């Protein structure tokens, strides 16, 4: 007799994925500039560490918000007792205003339609509980955030069917890919309940084009299904093209009174845009009052601490601060992304052109020993264990083409990034020489050239390998 | 095609229960000593408001506990980034120590078994997900906290089977009752996976004695089912007999117990009065459950800002010792005052030594021994006496006439007003047996679809006695 539930013994929590295994390795041997300079550099964590000074200086200037005070009065007791799942009104107001500001004020959000949750993790799971059950599926474009397997499927019983995107068109969503995914779900006897997209995309770092967004709206209208738009990276768009929210598209197409309006839901969070993942601030925004009502009740299982709501309501209500923060943060992200891209270039590695996010989608296909996922894993293991960089293999993001890796750039100092790029450059050079010398060796044996020259270069590759370790 | 899930559109959230409905009356007409002296006094909310002054004094002396003050800001970045579902080590150590102290240091808790959750609400749901599959069942002694219907069943698909307890033996859990419930579950083709006990009990306010606990442990071991001990009221035991925790029982020499079956739910919402901070804990003696619950805690982690505050506060041994003592003292006094005053007008309640409420016996005021009569009486209490209390039926009590009445969520003045209203009502009732029918025609408080916490919280988030006319928290409400 099984003493525990099937959820305990199955693997749907997704933590046996390489995405998480890489972290475990990092934890065993983390890089530290002083204490562990040969350790593994964490490049698998999509954190934004570039703008804490801005947050800290705001805190220094606003001591009341920090110490449970408002207008000189202590409101500790009121906060300690406040467990209303409708959330602190002042915080919701500040949050919807912030969301609007990020979207260039082209759309506004109603506080009555927002539900606060413990992080986007909780928001996504809650929405899934509201919209789907066992036997249902959501379509997701690949590659996608590995955590979705846990958040959307584990406890809900729902399934994910991939919308396969390919490098041939920059991984954009196409009509045929959508249709193919829908058919696949039907073949698997699954009822398609909706599509979930991440815009800006994790792991691609790109914003969705208007064409793609229009395509999605048409598709969900036609199939009469839901659309969840996970926009947690909306505030990280640092260069053109400008971010277009799904809400903006609906507004532009004057669909507010249509049926599709109530089937579009947005997920938000302050973990990426404000760099506050520890505070567990997530939100569901929906135009369907029934979804809002159900999600609100479910949020009981993961409310946002009132202490945190209060602090952030003060911070986000400070419009001068939010304006400055968003602007400076964008500049810093752009600068840092440029550094990563140029560092990669020097190493002979390219990446998908991106304008958002805290990472780049890096093309290492040319470094694979074969066009297979086994080769991708081989390469990944060498990068983690030998080059000592924790990056995320594309297979963990369900990419259908081997050789792509997500590499984060905003969670470390500039010096650490520089070092990471140097390590990568050395590694790539050594592989290239190795490949070259192997190739030449083959040529020699065929053409009968002077062997001693090439034996020498093969030798020197081995020597170099010893140094890397 | 685009329908929502059955979970979302069904009634599994349990908010149509009268437990939540009564709050509506409070919300439309909340008591305020100056602005609304005839308003409804909230006695349906199990909050602990007695110790805030004590806590505030500590906060003033320790600005570094708030990670966002000048004194704490050097830790801000670290905190803001910390989302490790293992939880901060100092937080876990502090909570483990606190749990030990609350049990008189008779047991030690292992910080590595402390798993976070979104309040006890989240903890219960997580345990249900870990221990049972859809269609399986837990046994729960009645009367029990109405929220369990939502927390254990709603999204998990797990069933609850009541273990009936009777007033004839002060609602003790008997072996017979446990066996009967087990058989009933089997007859209904439900596989029983565990037993959930709340100790100290909500709504009874009593603790389980040693024999009962041993009986319970014996039962679950024999049946090879889990035991979930919800001990969120552990620090509210204000009087003898002393609290005995499941964690203590399993250490006793004469108790044979498979520890893989033992799990404790804890929280700071009742013991410290911090429901807003959402600090829930799953403590399991089963390694696989710890591991799984920890992964699930991603769905309801405690804000690192709050972890830091709690870690600071609960690491202060002197503060904790003083707090536990002071809290007990204030609860004892308030309980004594309340129950004595009630008995003076002939109102009895179950003898209790814990919790933030009493289990009031109003059976003799019932027109007849039915739940309809209980509902009628309840409407009278809300509309006539202007007190929001919780009817026993909402706690799945097997016998009509019992009401849970909270006493720790108001100041002394409000308590005095509540008592005088009760006095007046009882005396009037004694003079002329006012037929409840007549009074009920004056209002029709329908058990309508309700909004739970919004009924409770908006627009007046303040407790009735707050000096501020309107909470600063709702000022921005639109």
**B174 at interface of A, judged by CB pairs closer than 8 A:** no
Q: How many CB pairs under 8 A join A and B?
A: 272
Distance of CA A151 to the CA centre of its chain: 13
Dist CA A409 CA B30 (whole Å):
53
B458·A303 Cβ contact <8 A: no
The stretches of B115-174 forming alpha helices (DSSP H) are 119-131, 147-148
Dist CA A99 CA A111 (whole Å):
11
Characterise A143 by phi-psi region: left (phi > 0), alpha (psi -120 to 50), beta (else). beta
Dist CA A13 CA A18 (whole Å):
13
Cβ atoms of residues A307 and B275 within 8 Å: no
**B13 at interface of A, judged by CB pairs closer than 8 A:** yes
Dist CA A374 CA B424 (whole Å):
81
Which of A74, A155, A301 is best to mutate for the B interface (most B CBs within 10 A)?
A301
Higher pLDDT, B121 or B445: B121
Q: Which residues of A touch B463 (CB under 8 A)?
A: 77, 81
Nearest to A80 among B73, B224, B274 (CB): B274
Angstroms from A104 CA to nearest CA on chain B: 23
The pLDDT confidence band at residue B14, using thresholds 50, 70 and 90, is confident
Instruction: Determine the straight-line distance between the first and last CA of chain B, rounded to whole angstroms.
Output: 35
Which of A60, A153, A159, A300 is best to mutate for the B interface (most B CBs within 10 A)?
A300
Nearest to B82 among A85, A194, A278 (CB): A278
**A287 at interface of B, judged by CB pairs closer than 8 A:** no
**A133 at interface of B, judged by CB pairs closer than 8 A:** yes
**B462 at interface of A, judged by CB pairs closer than 8 A:** yes
**B303 at interface of A, judged by CB pairs closer than 8 A:** yes
The pLDDT confidence band at residue B10, using thresholds 50, 70 and 90, is confident
At A457 the pLDDT is 36
B119·A89 Cβ contact <8 A: no
- Residue B328 Cα distances to A256, A350, A379, B266, B338, angstroms: 56, 66, 62, 18, 15
Q: Percent of chain B having pLDDT more than 90?
A: 78
Burial of A15 (0-12, 13-18, 19+ CB in 10 A): middle
Section B64-70 average pLDDT:
76
Q: Which residue does chain B place closest to A130, by CA atoms?
A: B8
Going by C-alpha positions, the residue among A402, A404, A454, A405 that lies closest to residue A433 is A454
Roughly what angle, to the nearest 10 degrees, separates helices A119-131 and A289-298? 120
Name residues 83-112 of chain B within 8 A of A (Cβ).
83
**B411 at interface of A, judged by CB pairs closer than 8 A:** no
Instruction: Determine the straight-line distance between the first and last CA of chain A, rounded to whole angstroms.
Output: 49
**A425 at interface of B, judged by CB pairs closer than 8 A:** no
At A246 the pLDDT is 98
Which of B3, B4, B270 is best to mutate for the A interface (most A CBs within 10 A)?
B4
- Catalytic machinery residues of B: 145, 230, 232, 270
Each of the 469 residues of chain A gets a pLDDT tens digit; together they read 468 888 887 777 776 666 677 888 899 999 999 999 999 999 999 999 999 999 999 998 998 887 888 888 889 999 999 999 999 999 999 999 999 999 999 999 999 999 999 999 999 999 999 999 999 999 999 999 999 999 999 999 999 999 999 999 999 999 999 999 999 999 999 999 999 999 999 999 999 999 999 999 999 999 999 999 999 999 999 999 999 999 999 999 999 999 999 999 999 999 999 999 999 999 999 999 999 999 999 999 999 999 999 999 999 999 999 999 999 999 999 999 999 999 999 999 999 999 999 999 999 999 999 999 999 999 999 999 999 999 999 999 999 999 999 999 999 999 999 999 999 999 999 887 776 666 666 666 666 554 444 433 333 333 333 333 3
Dist CA B418 CA A361 (whole Å):
65
Going by C-alpha positions, the residue among B96, B100, B145 that lies closest to residue B120 is B145
Cβ atoms of residues A296 and A86 within 8 Å: yes
pLDDT one-digit tens code per residue, B305-314: 999 999 999 9
At A394 the pLDDT is 97
The pLDDT confidence band at residue B19, using thresholds 50, 70 and 90, is low
Question: Which pTM does this prediction carry?
Answer: 0.89
Q: Among B5-19, B71-85, B103-117, name the one with the lowest average pLDDT.
A: B5-19
Dist CA B342 CA B403 (whole Å):
14
Higher pLDDT, B275 or B1: B275
At B153 the pLDDT is 97
At B430 the pLDDT is 77
- A 10 A CB-CB count for B346 gives 11
Supply A10's token pair. 């199955």
Nearest to B8 among A4, A90, A294 (CB): A294
- Catalytic machinery residues of A: 145, 230, 232, 272
Q: Which residue does chain B place closest to A74, by CA atoms?
A: B56
Q: Which residue does chain B place closest to A270, by CA atoms?
A: B80
**B276 at interface of A, judged by CB pairs closer than 8 A:** yes
């Amino acid at each position: 007799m099984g003493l525990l539930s099937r959820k305990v013994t199955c693997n749907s929590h997704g933590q046996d994925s390489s995405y998480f295994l890489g972290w475990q390795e990092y934890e065993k041997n983390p890089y530290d500039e002083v204490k562990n300079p040969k350790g593994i550099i964490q490049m698998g964590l999509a954190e934004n560490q570039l703008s804490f000074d801005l947050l800290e200086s705001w805190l220094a200037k606003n001591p009341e918000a920090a110490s449970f005070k408002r207008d000189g009065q202590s409101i500790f007791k009121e906060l300690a007792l406040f467990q209303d799942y409708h959330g602190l009104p002042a915080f919701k107001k500040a949050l919807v205003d912030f969301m609007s500001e990020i979207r260039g004020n082209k759309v506004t959000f109603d506080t009555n339609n927002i539900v606060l949750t413990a992080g986007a993790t909780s928001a996504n799971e809650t929405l899934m509980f509201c919209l789907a059950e066992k036997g249902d599926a959501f379509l997701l474009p690949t590659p996608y955030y590995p955590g979705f397997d846990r958040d959307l499927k584990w406890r809900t019983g729902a399934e994910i069917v991939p919308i396969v995107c390919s490098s041939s068109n920059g991984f954009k969503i196409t009509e045929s890919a959508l249709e193919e995914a829908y058919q696949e779900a039907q073949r698997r006897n699954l009822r398609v309940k909706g599509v979930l997209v991440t815009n800006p995309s994790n792991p691609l770092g790109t914003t969705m084009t208007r064409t793609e967004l229009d395509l999605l709206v048409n598709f969900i209208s036609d199939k009469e299904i839901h659309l969840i738009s996970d926009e947690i990276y909306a505030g990280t768009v640092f260069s053109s093209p400008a971010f277009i929210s799904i809400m903006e598209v609906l507004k532009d197409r004057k669909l507010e009174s249509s049926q599709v309006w109530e089937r579009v839901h947005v997920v938000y969070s302050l973990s990426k845009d404000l760099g506050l993942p520890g505070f567990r601030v997530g939100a569901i925004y929906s135009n369907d009052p029934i979804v809002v009502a159900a999600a609100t009740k479910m949020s009981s299982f993961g409310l946002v601490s009132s202490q945190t709501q209060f602090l952030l309501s003060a911070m986000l209500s400070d419009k001068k601060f939010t304006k400055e923060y968003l602007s400076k943060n964008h500049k810093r992200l752009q600068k840092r992304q440029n550094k990563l891209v140029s560092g990669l270039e020097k190493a002979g590695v390219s990446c998908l052109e991106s304008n958002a996010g805290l990472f780049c989608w890096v093309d290492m296909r040319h470094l694979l020993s074969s066009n297979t996922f086994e080769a991708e894993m081989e390469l990944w293991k060498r990068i983690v264990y030998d080059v000592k960089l924790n990056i995320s293999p594309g297979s963990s993001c369900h990419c259908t083409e081997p050789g792509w890796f997500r590499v984060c750039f905003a969670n470390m100092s500039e010096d650490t990034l520089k070092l990471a790029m140097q390590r990568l450059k050395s590694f790539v050079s050594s592989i290239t020489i190795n490949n070259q010398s192997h190739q030449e060796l083959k040529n020699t044996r065929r053409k009968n050239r002077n062997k001693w020259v090439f034996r020498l270069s093969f030798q020197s590759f081995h020597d170099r390998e010893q140094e890397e370790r | 095609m685009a329908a929502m899930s059955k979970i979302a559109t069904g009634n599994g959230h349990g908010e149509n229960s009268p437990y939540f409905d009564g709050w509506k009356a409070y919300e439309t007409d909340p008591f305020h000593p100056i602005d609304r002296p005839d308003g409804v006094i909230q006695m349906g909310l199990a909050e602990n408001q007695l110790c805030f002054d004590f806590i505030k004094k500590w906060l003033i002396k320790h600005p570094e506990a708030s990670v966002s003050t000048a004194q704490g800001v050097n830790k801000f970045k670290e905190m803001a980034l910390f989302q490790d579902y293992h939880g901060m080590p100092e937080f876990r150590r502090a909570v483990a120590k606190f749990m030990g102290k609350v049990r008189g240091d008779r047991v030690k808790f292992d910080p590595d078994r402390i798993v976070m959750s979104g309040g006890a609400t989240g903890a219960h749901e997580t345990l249900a997900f870990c221990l049972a599959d859809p269609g399986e069942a837990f046994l729960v002694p009645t009367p029990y906290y109405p929220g369990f219907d939502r927390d254990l069943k709603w999204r998990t698909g797990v069933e609850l089977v009541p273990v009936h307890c009777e007033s004839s033996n002060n609602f003790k859990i008997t072996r017979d009752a446990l066996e009967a419930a087990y058989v009933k579950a089997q007859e209904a083709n439900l596989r029983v996976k565990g037993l959930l006990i709340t100790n100290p009990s909500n709504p009874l306010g009593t603790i389980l004695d040693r024999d009962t606990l041993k009986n319970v442990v014996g039962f679950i071991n024999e049946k090879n089912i889990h035991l979930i001990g919800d001990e969120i009221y552990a620090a509210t035991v204000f009087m003898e007999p002393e609290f005995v925790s499941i964690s203590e029982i399993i250490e006793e020499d004469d108790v044979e117990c498979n520890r893989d079956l033992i799990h404790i739910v804890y929280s700071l919402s009742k013991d410290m009065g911090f429901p807003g901070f959402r600090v829930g804990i799953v403590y399991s003696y089963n390694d696989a459950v710890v591991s799984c619950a920890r992964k699930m805690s991603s769905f309801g982690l405690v804000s690192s800002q709050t972890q830091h505050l709690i870690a600071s506060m609960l690491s202060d041994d002197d503060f904790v010792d003083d707090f536990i003592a002071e809290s007990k003292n204030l609860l004892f006094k308030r309980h004594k005052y309340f129950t004595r005053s009630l008995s003076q007008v002939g109102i009895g309640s179950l003898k209790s030594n814990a919790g933030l409420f009493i289990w009031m016996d109003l059976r003799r005021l019932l027109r007849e021994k039915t739940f309809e009569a209980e509902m009628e009486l309840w409407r009278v209490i809300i509309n006539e006496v202007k007190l929001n209390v919780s009817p026993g039926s909402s706690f799945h009590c097997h016998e009509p006439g019992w009401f849970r009445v909270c006493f720790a969520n108001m100041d002394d003045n409000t308590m005095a007003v509540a008592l005088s209203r009760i006095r007046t009502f009882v005396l009037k009732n004694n003079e002329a047996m006012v037929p409840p029918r007549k009074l009920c025609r004056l209002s029709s408080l329908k058990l309508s679809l309700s909004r739970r916490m919004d009924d409770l919280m908006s627009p007046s988030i303040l407790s009735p006695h707050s000096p501020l006319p309107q909470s600063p928290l709702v000022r921005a409400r639109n």
